[in-house]
Amino acid sequence: MADKYQLSHWNKLWTKDEYYAYHDIDFASDGISQLLLYALNDAKPNQTLLEIGAGPGTRSIPVAKEKNLKLSLVDLLESARNLAIKRSERYGIKCKYIIGDALDLPIGDENYDYTCSIGLNEHFLGEDRQNSFSEMYRVTKNGGKAIVIVPNKFGSIRLEQAIKEFTGTWDFGPTDLFSCGELKNVMELTGFSKVEMYGVSVYTQLVRLLPKSIQRKFFKNKKLWGFLVNLPGNFNMNSTLNRNFGEEIMAIGYR
């Protein structure tokens, strides 16, 4: 199982790097948060949100705090859970933590108003790929939404992956990215009654090609990062350019 899910990589990250527990998320300058907040724009206080393959709940914890939602996080790793506890305490929000597999969720049918996954589904291949969507569908309430946010096949991550695979520094194992059309298709095949597609960060994604230490310097330099974020159209999630070539794409499936 460790090879299948690349658990050794994630466990090393969550064990040694508490940046993910304590760093702030600025909604106005973070594309993934922009997408998640948009998907939850109709959420009512105390409705339920489940993040699958949550890691430390980097975005879901601050977003659930902002929207006053009851949040559950499911992940296979105790190290992720430990970071998530620190992060939720920092944000002053109570979360439910579940140790479990995205392909066999230890959760009953139709339990959550909203389910989401962020940067998860692209790591599953073969039958597991469809099963990751089917499990999300199963635990989402009738009338609820499933939110899938993944890197764009035609964004900068594909070039980053190709370079790192060539140099032997790609840590994430086999990764099959989605295009906008492919993600929409698999959501429809799963059975969602309606699927909406969005995208963001056509310009700010270029920072991703830099070493991680330099990326963080960009993020912390508010003036420089703000310039990139505010380039016209960067966060226009309805634009054809972002849906097809932005850094992140999002599918919202209605159950």
Which range among 45-54, 109-118, 210-219 shows the weakest confidence by mean pLDDT? 210-219
More confident residue, 174 or 65: 65
Cα(82)–Cα(24) distance, integer angstroms: 17
Phi/psi of residue 173, each to 5°?
Answer: 70, -170
Retrieve residue 93's tokens: 């929000």
More confident residue, 60 or 219: 60
In a domain, 181, yes or no: yes
**Residue 186's pLDDT band (boundaries 50, 70, 90)?**
very high
pLDDT for residue 2: 39
Which range among 6-15, 72-81, 151-160, 164-173 shows the weakest confidence by mean pLDDT? 164-173
In a domain, 54, yes or no: yes
Residue type, position 66, single letter: E
State the residue for tokens 């995205």. 102
In terms of Cα–Cα distance, which of 180, 197, 199 is closest to 254? 197
Residue 54, domain CATH = 3.40.50.150
Q: Say how many Å lie between the first and final Cα of the chain, rounded.
A: 30
Q: Is the pLDDT of residue 173 over 80?
A: no
Mean pLDDT of the chain: 91
Q: How many helices (H) and strands (E) does the chain have?
A: 12, 7
Task: Name the 3-class secondary structure at 193.
Answer: coil
Residue 35 near residue 248, CB atoms below 8 Å:
yes
Query: How confident is the model over 24-39, as a mean pLDDT?
Result: 94
In terms of Cα–Cα distance, which of 44, 96, 37, 86 is closest to 69? 44
* 14 exposure class (CB count in 10 Å sphere: 0-12, 13-18, 19+): buried
pLDDT for residue 76: 93
In a domain, 101, yes or no: yes
- Residues spanned by the domain of 247: 2-201+236-254
How many domains, the chain?
1
pLDDT for residue 164: 78
Residue 20 near residue 14, CB atoms below 8 Å:
yes
90: which residues sit within 8 A by CB, 6+ positions away? 21, 22
Q: What is the pTM of this model?
A: 0.92
Query: How confident is the model over 45-64, as a mean pLDDT?
Result: 97
pLDDT for residue 5: 59
In a domain, 174, yes or no: yes
Q: Is the pLDDT of residue 214 over 70?
A: yes
Helix 127-139 and helix 180-190: axis angle, to 10°?
A: 60
Per DSSP, what are the bridge partners of residue 146?
115, 253
In a domain, 230, yes or no: no
pLDDT for residue 51: 98
In a domain, 220, yes or no: no
In a domain, 222, yes or no: no
**Residue 4's pLDDT band (boundaries 50, 70, 90)?**
low
pLDDT for residue 1: 39
DSSP 111: -
Cα(153)–Cα(178) distance, integer angstroms: 5
Q: What percent of the chain has pLDDT over 70?
A: 98
In a domain, 58, yes or no: yes
Cα(77)–Cα(14) distance, integer angstroms: 9
Q: What is the pLDDT of residues 129-163, one digit of tens each?
A: 999 999 999 999 999 999 999 999 999 888 888 88
- Strands of the sheet containing 112-118, edge to edge, are 95-99, 70-75, 48-52, 112-118, 140-151, 248-254, 194-200
Q: What is the pLDDT of residues 93-122, one digit of tens each?
A: 999 999 999 999 999 999 999 999 999 999
Cα(140)–Cα(191) distance, integer angstroms: 12
Residue 33 near residue 149, CB atoms below 8 Å:
no
Retrieve residue 109's tokens: 């049918």
